[in-house]
């Protein structure tokens, strides 16, 4: 090292000390200050286990009868008919949509459960599921429509559902009203 290097080093130290002259050392503390996380962590394993349990619980043997072309709907027992009227009229804004075109029955059931669980976690109240009109199916009948209705009536977090309005998919989609999140 040359004399110039020592002088530059001394100058840097002098500048640093001048900048820090009125800084005081904080007292030592054995406590850690934790800040609230804006997003609570979700254990992925728990969510997948919950979804698997719901998948196992949803039966294909419980059914509601839907005639081809019928506008169908459902409300949980004890729910007001006014709730269904509001849902049909678009009182709640659709906050999320799931499109099940091209899914098999088992894939659709799994996707529906994952979707609804995620929507509940995000506190969405009104969602839409597009199941298709069945125009490409073997008998030109909707394959998933009745199954989705049957699965939805088995979920306690589904308050009501009805066929979507024409601009939202009509007979090829269903609009679902979910339970509100409990406030803590």
Domains and CATH numbers, the chain: 44-178 (3.30.1370.110)
Give the H/E segment covering residue 125. Answer: none
Reference 109, options 152, 171, 68, 161; nearest CA is 152
Angle of helix 44-57 relative to helix 105-121, nearest 10 degrees, comes to: 130
Q: What are the distances in angstroms from CA 135 to CA 31, 32, 61, 85, 171? A: 65, 62, 25, 28, 11
Question: What sign does the CA torsion over 58, 125, 143, 111 have?
Answer: negative
Q: What pLDDT score does 66 carry?
A: 45
Estimate to the nearest angstrom the gap between the alpha carbon of 33 and the chain centroid: 32
Q: What pLDDT score does 184 carry?
A: 47
Spell out the residues 6+ positions from residue 81 whose beta carbon is closer than 8 angstroms to its own. 75
Reference 175, options 76, 159, 183, 184; nearest CA is 159
Q: What pLDDT score does 68 carry?
A: 43
104, 137 contact by CB (below 8 A): no
Q: What pLDDT score does 122 carry?
A: 95
Q: What pLDDT score does 69 carry?
A: 46
Estimate to the nearest angstrom the gap between the alpha carbon of 166 and the chain centroid: 24
Per-residue pLDDT of the chain (184 residues; tens, 9 = 90+): 555 555 677 788 888 888 888 887 777 776 666 555 555 555 555 555 555 555 455 555 555 544 444 567 899 999 998 999 999 999 999 999 999 988 888 999 999 999 999 999 999 999 999 988 766 666 666 678 888 999 999 999 999 999 999 999 998 899 999 998 765 4
At 179 the three-state DSSP class reads: coil
């Amino acid at each position: 090292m040359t004399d110039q290097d020592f002088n530059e080093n001394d100058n840097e130290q002098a500048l640093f000390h001048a900048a820090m002259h009125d800084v005081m050392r904080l007292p030592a503390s054995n406590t850690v200050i934790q800040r609230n996380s804006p997003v609570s962590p979700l254990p992925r394993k728990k969510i997948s286990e919950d979804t698997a349990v719901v998948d196992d619980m949803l039966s294909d043997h419980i059914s509601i009868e839907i005639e081809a072309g019928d506008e169908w709907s459902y409300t949980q027992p004890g729910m007001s008919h006014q709730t269904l009227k509001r849902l049909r009229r678009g009182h709640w804004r659709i906050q999320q949509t799931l499109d099940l075109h091209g899914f098999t029955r088992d894939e659709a059931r799994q996707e529906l459960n994952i979707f609804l669980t995620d929507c509940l976690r995000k506190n969405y109240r009104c969602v839409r599921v597009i199941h298709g009109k069945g125009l490409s199916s073997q008998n030109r009948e909707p394959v998933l429509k009745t199954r989705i209705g049957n699965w939805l009536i088995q979920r306690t977090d589904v308050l009501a559902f009805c066929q979507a309005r024409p601009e939202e998919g009509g007979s090829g989609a269903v609009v679902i009203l979910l339970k509100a999140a409990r406030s803590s």
